[in-house]
Every structure is written in C-alpha cells, then in structure tokens.
Amino acid sequence: MTSPVDTVAAAVAAADAPTFEARKISTGYSWPECPRWHDGAFWFSDMYTGTLKTLDAEGNATVVVDATGRSANTDVPIVLGGFGWLPDGRLIVNSMHEQKVLVHGGDGPADLTEYADVSEFAIKAVNDMVVDADGRAYITQLGFDIFQGETPITSPLIVVEPDGTVSKPAGVPEMNCGNGIAISADGTQLFVAEVMAQKITVIDRNADGTLSNARDFATCPFMPDGIGLDEEGGVWAAMPGGGYVARFTEDGLTDAVPMPLEGGIASACLLGGPDRSTLYMTVGYEVFDFEKSAREALGGIFVADVKNHGGQTRP
C-alpha cells in the first residue's frame, strides 16, 4: 500500500517541482500551529499550553497571550487556535473547544475577555481564523471530534462581523473539515483548506465582506492543513503526514519543501520575514494526546527561503 509520503513525493516528482531546504530555528513546543507575521515579528499558537508566543531573531520564545487561567471555569480543554488583529490593534483568538472568540487587552498575557460566542454555528471545536481589513473574522471548524475518531461531517464557515454579530455565510456550501483560511492581497478572494476533501477551495469576497461562488482551486495529493498565500497567486499548504509543504496554483503543484516525518509533522505555514519571502512552518509530533504533547514539548519552528512573497495577503 502506498504511503502518504510516497504519494506526495510522486506528485512533486510528476510536477517537476523545485524543492527548498527547511531548517529548524526554534524548538520546545507542544503542537505549534497558526503561524502569523505581524509588526515585524513571528507569532504562533503553542496549542496545548494555551498560549500564543512570538520568536526573537535568535529563536527565543516569549508568551504574549496566556489563556490557561480560563481552565478553572470550564471543563473543556483550553486550546488557542487561529487569531488575528482588529483595525484598532487588539488581538482576537479562537478558544477552540469553548467555541468562543476571545479578545486580548493590554494588561498582561492573561488579559482575555469574550469577544464573540460562536457556539450557535459551531458543531464541535472551531479551528482557524483570518481577519479582514475591516475587522471581520472568518472562522473554520472541524465539524466533528477528530480527537475521538468521529466520522467526518461537513460544517459551515462562521463569520463574526465588526459589530460582533455572528452568522454563517449565505450561499456558501459547508466545508469538509475546514482548516487553514486566508485572504488574497487585494481582498477579493478567500481560500480554505478542506482537509477531508483533500482540496483547497476559493470563494469570491465582496467589498462588504459577503462571500459567493465557492469553487475548487487545487486538489492536493494529501490532506491540507494550515495554509499561507503569496502575492503571486499561490497557496502554500502543509500536509501533515505527507512529508511536504507545497505550493499550489490553479495549474497544480508548483514548489515543495520536504519535511521528513522523523523531524516532525508540518501542520501549518506562512510567508514572513522582512520581505515576507521566508516560509515559516510549524512542526509537531503529537496532536491527539494534549498532555503528552505539552509535556514532551518536541514541537519546533522551521523556515525555508523561497522565491515568492507574502505581500499584503492575510493572515
């Protein structure tokens, strides 16, 4: 039986895609996810420690947001997923299993309050997020309990408007385990990785934030997870268990970064750095056992120098 790594490697070879070497710049994390480049710094979620962190130039991490104190008031795990920034500079972040969006204030890492309750439209854990220039948040969700091995089902995107109103977008089909989500540099397109469909979907986005005309953008050789865009029209996608992070256009796979599984499982990627031409990749070892993942802290951050630029794409 062909392994996922062999399947992706065959797709890279068939595309005659150039490859770029990855190197580790930092380690000591649980399951790192949701990479961001903001105000000249690299940010990420250290998911099973309930924190958001930044890295300095030497790869040292600083805790900027700490949600662990919320565990005293709930019986669900405190795991921070996708996040972004409002026009006034405040950070908002998904508390995945609480099915809430939290807003971070200015009074220390633990200064978190509820921004929006999305439970009306969340079937199980919410997932990633992208915030547009007006402060509108688009949120993906798993739709089923992947951690307990439930059968996959489709689920809607969730939108939190700048005034806090929560809805699911009209005229947009449900996603098959929606994961990474991003907005093009000109704001006219929203991209979503549909894990269980092994594809990337693109949706037209209007000036008022409404969505329409969802369609296939690219088929992936393995399940896509976190994604990042480049200003040249490509979508970079991590394929956990597939041994690669790869770039896709409507013409197919164009570039790849080998990520051998013995070095960890690449979960997400984003173009960052001063000119946004450094591909940052979050890499972990244990996603299903939260306690083990946090205790062993084997996750790391990798980078690769690529030929594309993130420009004004979001996140």
107 annotated among ligand-binding-site residues: no
94 annotated among ligand-binding-site residues: no
How many residues can be counted in the chain?
A: 315
251 belongs to the catalytic site: no
C-alpha 216/C-alpha 57 separation (Å) is 38
C-alpha 11/C-alpha 282 separation (Å) is 22
DSSP 123: S
* Residue from 66, 132, 225, 230 carrying the catalytic annotation: 225
Q: What are the residues whose beta carbons fall under 8 Å from the beta carbon of 212, sequence distance 6 or more? A: 171, 172, 203, 204, 206
Cis previous bond, 315, omega within 30:
yes
Q: DSSP characters for 242-308?
A: TTEEEEEETTEEEEEEE--GGG-EEEEEEEESTTS-EEEEEEES-SS-HHHHHHH--EEEEEEE-S-
C-alpha 266/C-alpha 281 separation (Å) is 6
225 annotated among ligand-binding-site residues: yes
206 annotated among ligand-binding-site residues: no
Are 132 and 119 in contact by the 8 Å Cβ rule? The answer is no
Q: Which residue has the tokens 């630029």?
A: 309
Are 154 and 175 in contact by the 8 Å Cβ rule? The answer is yes
Query: Which positions make up the binding site for a divalent metal cation?
Result: 179, 225
Active-site positions read 225
Query: Which positions make up the binding site for substrate?
Result: 127, 145
